[in-house]
Amino acid sequence: MKIADLYTRSGLTLSVEFFAPKTDKGDENLLSEIEIIKQVNPGYCSVTYGAGGSTRDKTVDMVGRIHRQCGLEVMGHLTVVGQSKAEARAVLDAFKQRGIVNLLALGGDPPQGMTDWRPHPDGFHYAAELVREAVARGGFSIAVAGFPEVHPRAVSRASDLGYLKEKVEAGADAIITQLFFDNDDYYRYVEDVRRLGVKVPIVPGVLPILSASQVRRFTALCQAKIPPQLDAVLAKVEQDDAAAVEAGIDYATRQCEGLIKFGVPGLHFYSLNKSYSLRAICKNLGL
Ligand code: FAD
């Protein structure tokens, strides 16, 4: 089912993001975690495209396997960075051949070890161009990324919102947000996006914390802030990952309660290929 249709159903659409493992063992672990995650009845799941396009074949292979073996609706991520237009088109074709109709069209993170973002000489420069390409090829329902705290490379909040609108006008059916830990940032973002006349679902991205050091690393990478209420939680679990997982479940549960009350169309979980926190959060929420 296309995501455009999933978000028109009544009720909350849960989606779960995985990264494409690098090894066969990682693949098998992920497929067993997915069997557990299926119990929370996600509307769809998605598989990331490694930084700089580094997991092209792995991503294509894994979306195909999840679709075929697990019977779950899948969305393939595709980024424009680090590859030519011809290579990006080949991935769109490979998704299609595997029956994948949902696409998350992205600019992409630079390859590991590189900090500045440079377009491929023969590649697309921005996600909006990939949206246009996928629309022209036909058959895809497309989501794009949104940044409640403003994308780190954006010149201004206004320009970032303007380019988001361009992606939707190009044909995107939904916006999935970067992780955030202060719901007010999401609420303000939704208000700003709606003010521009953009009407597609804006799905909040939620990260269940697995360790204090990891969340500090992630937030530094994507320049998301750690609000004081989360900082206080992390300070108590700095050296204790098991306690951090439980604190993360508690924090994400409270975050999701607020988001559901606000009326979000869905929740997109950055699962890091783990089922434990996700199941606990869904149980807490009665989902
Ligand atoms: P774009 O929409 O191209 O925007 C990038 C920047 O350029 C923004 O600052 C924007 O304001 C600006 N901009 C856009 N259009 C123009 C224009 N015409 N002129 C000038 N400036 C412009 N990364 C990965 O590598 N792999 C993944 O699988 C992945 N999955 C993600 C999933 C989600 C839900 C999210 C939120 C992010 C994900 N990312 C992933 C990270 C994302 O690719 C990066 O943050 C990337 O830097 C921005 O992507 P974008 O799609 O917003 O890019």
The tens digit of pLDDT for each residue in 240-282 reads 999 999 999 999 999 999 999 999 999 999 999 999 999 999 9
Please indicate whether residue 178, judged by its CB atom, sits closer than 6 Å to ligand 1: yes
Distance 127 CA to ligand 1 centre (A): 6
Extended strands (E) in the chain: 13-18, 44-47, 74-79, 102-106, 141-146, 174-179, 202-206, 266-270
Antiparallel, parallel or unpaired: β 74-79 and 202-206: unpaired
Atom of ligand 1 nearest to the CA of 176: 34
Distance 240 CA to ligand 1 centre (A): 33
Please indicate whether residue 21, judged by its CB atom, sits closer than 6 Å to ligand 1: no
Q: What is the Rg, in whole angstroms, of the alpha carbon atoms belonging to the chain?
A: 18
Residue minimizing CA distance to atom 50 of ligand 1: 107
What's the predicted TM-score (pTM) here?
Answer: 0.97
Answer yes or no: 169 catalytic. Answer: no
Is the pLDDT score of 113 beyond 90? no
CATH for 3-209+264-274 is 3.20.20.220
Please indicate whether residue 79, judged by its CB atom, sits closer than 6 Å to ligand 1: yes
pLDDT, tens only, 40-79:
999 999 999 987 767 889 999 999 999 999 999 999 999 9
Please indicate whether residue 52, judged by its CB atom, sits closer than 6 Å to ligand 1: no
How far is Cα of residue 164 from the mean position of the Cα atoms in its chain? 15
The catalytic position among 17, 73, 129, 149 is 17
The ranges assigned to domains in the chain are 3-209+264-274
The predicted pLDDT at position 200 comes to 98
The predicted pLDDT at position 106 comes to 97
Separation CA 141–CA 56 (nearest Å): 20
